[in-house]
Amino acid sequence: MSRGIGRTQQTILNTLAAWPKDPVWLTTQCPSVMELAGALGLRDNQVRRAVRSLEVRGLVRVGKDGGNLYVRLITASDRRVDLAVAAAKAKDRALGG
């Protein structure tokens, strides 16, 4: 893995940041890898590889629904939840659970 974020990875991050918001929930609708590839004019495999690299770096979350992989940016609230869960697990371990 390279040290910096590649051009494809940066393009994916920019595209996810600008992805349409759900009008009811005001949250970003998660595009599939195939939707991203189509929107960017790239091959599915190229996008899938870049998305996995971004996931390893902790910049996106990837979920699977049926046969599709869906991608979304990790937000500050996601990080707060992750920290709260980690703290609860650490407390449970400290109490012998």
- What digits encode the pLDDT tens for the residues 11-27? 999 988 887 766 554 44
The residue among 88 and 48 whose pLDDT is bigger is: 48
| Domain range annotation of the chain | 7-94
The residue among 1 and 13 whose pLDDT is bigger is: 13
* Domain 7-94 annotated CATH 3.30.230.20: no
The residue among 36 and 30 whose pLDDT is bigger is: 36
pLDDT per residue over 34-72, tens digit each? 989 999 999 999 999 999 999 998 888 888 877 777 787
Alpha-helical (H) ranges within the chain are 7-17, 33-40, 44-56, 76-94
